Amino acid sequence: MSAFYEGLAGTAQRLIADKGASVTLRRGTATVDPITGEATSASDTYTMDVVQFPFRGGANKYPETWVQEARKGRMSKFLASANSVEIVPLTGDTVTDVLGVEWRLLGTEDLNPDGTKIIYTLFGSKV
């Protein structure tokens, strides 16, 4: 079955790349120098192909705070091809869409049958 799911992942990649857009995923790291006490931060950026939708919430599936933010138009849902990004998107990462709007990821889900990652579903709130 693995070859079947790898084929699905390839199809998802082609469709999302064709119908979606490339966005930037940024993961920040912060460290504190133990001697000086100075905090430093850095971020790594990655490009991924996504299709972006307004997040509408769902009956008891998502936290109420997400639903409230969605009602204000401050939530977005991204479907990302797992083949188009080098890392697994995590809560706290930032996505910058094609319009330059930044979205902080509040949650992620993945479609991962038989251990083959196909699609990441990302839920973001405007920064």
The structural domain count of the chain equals 1
Compute the mean pLDDT over every residue in the chain, rounded to the nearest whole number.
90
The CATH number of whichever domain residue 103 belongs to comes to 2.40.10.270
Lowest mean per-residue pLDDT among 42-46, 53-57, 119-123 = 53-57
Can you give the pLDDT at residue 73? 86
* pLDDT per residue as tens digits for the range 81-124: 999 989 999 999 999 999 999 999 999 999 999 889 999 999 99
Structure tokens at 76: 């977005």
Provide the residue range defining the domain that includes 30: 2-126
* Whether pLDDT at 74 is above 70: yes
What are the distances in angstroms from CA 86 to CA 47, 73, 110?
8, 29, 15
For residue 4, CA distances in Å to 7, 8, 116 come to: 5, 6, 10
CA distance 124 to 108: 9
pTM of the model: 0.85
- Quick one: which of 116, 119, 120 has its CA closest to 2? 116
For 2-74, strand residue ranges (E) read: 21-32, 39-54
